Amino acid sequence: MYNFKYSLIFSLFLLFNFNNTYSETFYIIPNAELDELINLYETTDGDNWTINDNWDNISATFTLDKLPYGVTLGNFQLISNDSTIYSANVTELDLTGESIIASGNNLFGEIPNFNLPFLSFINFNYNKLYGEIPNFNLPRLRTLFIGSNNFTGNIPNFDLPWLTQLFLDNNKLTGTIPNFDKMPLLQSLGLSRNQLTGTIPNFQYLNLFQLSLFSNNLSGKIPKFNFSNLIFLHLYKNSLTGEIPVLDSPNLFVMNLQNNKLTGAIPDYNNYNNLDRLAVYGNLFTFESLELNSNKIIEYLYTPQDTVLPVKKLDEKYYVDIDGSANQYHWFIDGEEVQVSEDKYFSPLEDGLYYCEVTNSLLPDLIIKSDSLFYTSVENSDKLYDYLFTFPPYPIPAISKITIPVYWTIKNPVKNKNITIYNNRGKRLDESKNLYVNQLSAINGEIIWESISVNPGIYFVEIKHGKSNKFIKIIVSE
């Protein structure tokens, strides 16, 4: 807590007396701005800031060597002809600290709603500020960086007519995104790594060159932004749907839309001469929409896709329906490849679990998979009741949780009572609370073992199914 405050009159008295001996330049800020700085220091635990030089004896009068850490002055006006004394205002507050990798400057508390009319720059990134973000009344503010804190609540629809940069990323903000119609000069907007929901506004009042909204819970379609200056567009790791709109943004340099639920055609970007990186993997695209940009010399990231193809039947043949001009169809039974062909049709020859993987020579490394289907001939229909297929467990080795993918027939699913765990000496373990079946559909699921309570070693999961038993080896590590 502060136990002092110089008045402006007393400060002037000291300055005029010091000026007889020293040739320093002095700066005086209004007492109202001094009060705001003191309030900031007190409400954010200033005594424990990592760097708080010259804050513990702050007054309205400064020399350059006594300026508080992170404070920049401006708007200078000479107020004494006999001495070098200027009036000034606080124009910048940069308290992010020297290391953005560690904990910033250790500001802890709620951020004040400043009354600093000449403030143009705020940088409080990488601290421990919490609470709701004020709807700042800062008419000259141009830059607001308060990312990597612990802010909660909704984002205000700020009334900051001169703001050009707004970054609130890596907090715990919720609610929807405002349209920011009161910030017509905004150029860079970063709201990534929060918990925002709803759709993305079209920001019709803005002309951004950078938009970062990744790692939220946003849904709906991507708006057809009217951003002629757009350079960076980061919308990845959301739940966006629909097609990618054609953007009139000829200077686009990076567009990252990965890990959404986008479908349909991808626009032709071959005329975007500045485009360097296009990331569309982790969506629901198919080959035809991806082929269009395959010859573009950019960093084109399109694999993997989350598309799952339905298996269809025509007469006695099965097939998957997918577009693409250079496809190959790989059919598998129980995990073993049995046919590779450019013909999409396939006739099963034996009973088992079938699925198809489709590749395309124009899009190396991309595999689009189909659903699985059980096939059995009429004469073997009775055997289908006992059919069980398991994929290898993962991860190998495991630390705290093991997953075993398993397929069964629709008439005979695996239940919790069908599974048991044994150690390498054959002793049955009482893991009934930690060992269970997570059924995903009528024909498949996962056997989950939460193994955090057992010692490292080798274990076996027994699956009793129909007339047979199956054992799966598990390795648990530290």
Distances (CA, A) of 46 to 53, 56, 107: 10, 8, 7
User: Which pLDDT does position 23 carry in this prediction?
Assistant: 54
User: Which pLDDT does position 99 carry in this prediction?
Assistant: 59
* Residue boundaries of the structural domains of the chain: 308-375, 383-476
User: Which pLDDT does position 297 carry in this prediction?
Assistant: 60
φ, ψ of residue 101 to 5 degrees: the values are: -85, -35
Q: Give me the residues of the chain with pLDDT under 50, please.
A: 1-22
State whether CATH 3.30.70.360 applies to domain 383-476: no
What's the CATH code, domain 308-375?
Answer: 2.60.40.10
Tally of CA atoms within 13 A in the half-sphere of 105 that contains its CB: 23
The single residue listed with the structure tokens 């001495």 is 83
Mean per-residue pLDDT of the chain: 88
User: Which pLDDT does position 1 carry in this prediction?
Assistant: 37
CA torsion through residues 102, 106, 107, 108, sign: positive
User: Which pLDDT does position 377 carry in this prediction?
Assistant: 67
User: Which pLDDT does position 296 carry in this prediction?
Assistant: 66
C-alpha angle with apex 79: 77 to 80, nearest 5 degrees?
135
Residues in Cβ contact with 209 at an 8 Å cutoff, skipping those fewer than 6 apart = 187, 188, 227, 229, 230, 231, 232, 251
User: Which pLDDT does position 469 carry in this prediction?
Assistant: 80
pTM of structure:
0.78
Q: Judge if 308-375 and 383-476 fold alike in CATH terms.
A: yes
User: Which pLDDT does position 358 carry in this prediction?
Assistant: 97
User: Which pLDDT does position 22 carry in this prediction?
Assistant: 44
> What gap in Å lies between CA 188 and CA 164, rounded to an integer?
6
Nearest CA to 170 out of 188, 194, 201, 135 is that of 194
φ, ψ of residue 15 to 5 degrees: the values are: -65, -45
Distances (CA, A) of 436 to 18, 234, 313, 460: 80, 39, 34, 14
